[in-house]
């Protein structure tokens, strides 16, 4: 691992994305989301994604200058057409729209059609929580995970995030419907390490620990994870007449979709009462007797907030394999690499 200042890494990420064709605004927004993930220890959704994003621009899968726009609104529901714009910009626009609706109507729902890979979806729910709203985000993509009972990819790792404002850091749930996100397998490849059994299966359906041999991921909790993924596909894709899974499994080109929701706490309860009761709930859970080998009961997102504080202060580590791929891209695009803090 090599350490970099957070701002230096973000500047580097934005320069690489801009060099790869992203508009300046898209490059900056995407870089912020990627480095936010790295800071929180989610390397799977961090800067290791940049070479693939640039490749997707070259393949025509990402339109690096498209501007997401709201094309339909009815009551508390908006439909945003992303037109294959970078996923970060698309989901930020979707959450902004959801919060705007919720500020007027109490609840806001924004379906984002035809997005591209959006990274760590917790970043977008945090945009709502930081403004005092409850944020909910889901995204749907093509087959990456075995449906329970099958040995090949049938659904995606469709993530779900919920962020709840509190008196301190928000409570932030950010989870994949697979046992791990695909990016963690990518990170293991970059780090040259094996992965635990249960993360994925090989082409024959047997458990695999070599990340290079993993053909598809496995669902979290078996039928629970694959069932949840299927329902997210329905809410994020089928509901807006833009199915992903059925198209992909039929051999046709498939898109990606996202869903952002915001709940205005004022529409449900007195905000001060809500904040007090959240604090009481947190204190009650954290006060439970700890299990053997556990030092502290943690809230959703608590580990990530602590790690982000430490890494922002001391430097963000980047794996050698990731650094090599970024350096190769930087050389091709004529981008200067940042100065490392230490290896």
Greatest CA separation found in the chain? 55
Dist. CA 88–CA 113, nearest whole Å:
13
Q: Which CATH architecture describes the domain 1-61+315-343? A: Orthogonal Bundle (1.10)
Q: Are strands 107-115 and 77-81 parallel, antiparallel or unpaired?
A: parallel
pLDDT for res 191: 82
Return the SS3 of 136.
strand
**Segments making up each domain of the chain, as ranges:** 1-61+315-343, 66-178+219-266
Top-level class of domain 66-178+219-266: alpha beta
Dist. CA 214–CA 327, nearest whole Å:
26
- Please state whether the predicted TM-score (pTM) of the whole model is above 0.85: yes
Angle, CA 169 vertex, CA 165 and CA 170 arms, to 5°: 30
Dist. CA 228–CA 226, nearest whole Å:
5
Helix H or strand E encompassing 110: strand 107-115
**pLDDT single digits (tens) 176-232:** 999 988 878 888 888 889 999 889 999 989 999 999 999 999 999 999 999 999 999
- Does residue 137 register a pLDDT over 70? yes
- Cα 303 to chain centroid, rounded: 17
What the block records as the tokens of 162 is: 């919920």
User: How many residues are listed for the chain in this entry?
Assistant: 343
**pLDDT single digits (tens) 32-66:** 999 999 999 999 999 999 999 999 999 999 999 99
CB atoms within 10 A of CB 191: 16
- Cα 70 to chain centroid, rounded: 22
**pLDDT single digits (tens) 247-276:** 999 999 889 999 999 999 999 999 999 999
Q: In what order do the strands lie in the sheet with 207-208?
A: 153-155, 145-146, 216-217, 200-201, 207-208
């Amino acid at each position: 691992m090599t350490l970099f200042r957070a701002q230096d890494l973000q500047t580097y990420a934005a320069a690489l994305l801009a060099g790869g064709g992203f508009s300046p605004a898209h490059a900056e927004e995407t870089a912020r989301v990627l480095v936010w993930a790295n800071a929180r220890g989610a390397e799977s959704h961090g800067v290791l994604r940049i070479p693939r994003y640039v490749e997707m621009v070259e393949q025509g899968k990402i339109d690096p200058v498209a501007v997401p726009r709201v094309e339909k609104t009815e009551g508390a529901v908006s439909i945003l057409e992303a037109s294959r714009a970078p996923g970060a910009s698309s989901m930020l626009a979707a959450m902004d729209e959801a919060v705007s609706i919720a500020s007027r109507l109490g609840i806001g729902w924004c379906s984002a059609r035809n997005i591209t890979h959006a990274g760590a979806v917790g970043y977008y729910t945090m945009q709502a929580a930081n403004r005092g709203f409850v944020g909910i985000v889901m995204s749907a993509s093509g087959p990456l995970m075995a449906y329970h009972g099958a040995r090949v990819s049938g659904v995606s790792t469709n993530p779900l995030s919920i962020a709840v404002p509190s008196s301190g850091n928000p409570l932030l749930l950010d989870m994949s419907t697979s046992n791990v996100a695909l990016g963690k397998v990518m990170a293991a490849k970059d780090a040259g390490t094996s992965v635990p059994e249960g993360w994925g299966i090989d082409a024959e359906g047997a458990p695999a620990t070599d990340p290079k041999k993993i053909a598809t991921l496995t669902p979290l909790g078996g039928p629970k994870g694959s069932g949840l993924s299927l329902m997210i596909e329905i809410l994020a894709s089928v509901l807006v007449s833009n199915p992903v899974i059925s198209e992909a499994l039929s051999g046709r080109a498939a898109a990606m979709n996202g869903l952002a929701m915001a709940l205005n706490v004022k529409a449900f309860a007195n905000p001060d009462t809500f904040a007090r009761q959240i604090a009481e709930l947190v204190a009650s859970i954290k006060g439970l007797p700890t299990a053997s080998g556990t030092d502290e009961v943690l809230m959703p997102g608590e580990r990530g907030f602590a790690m982000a504080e430490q890494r922002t202060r001391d430097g963000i580590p980047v794996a050698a394999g990731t650094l090599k791929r970024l350096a190769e891209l930087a050389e091709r695009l004529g981008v200067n690499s940042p100065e490392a803090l230490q290896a």
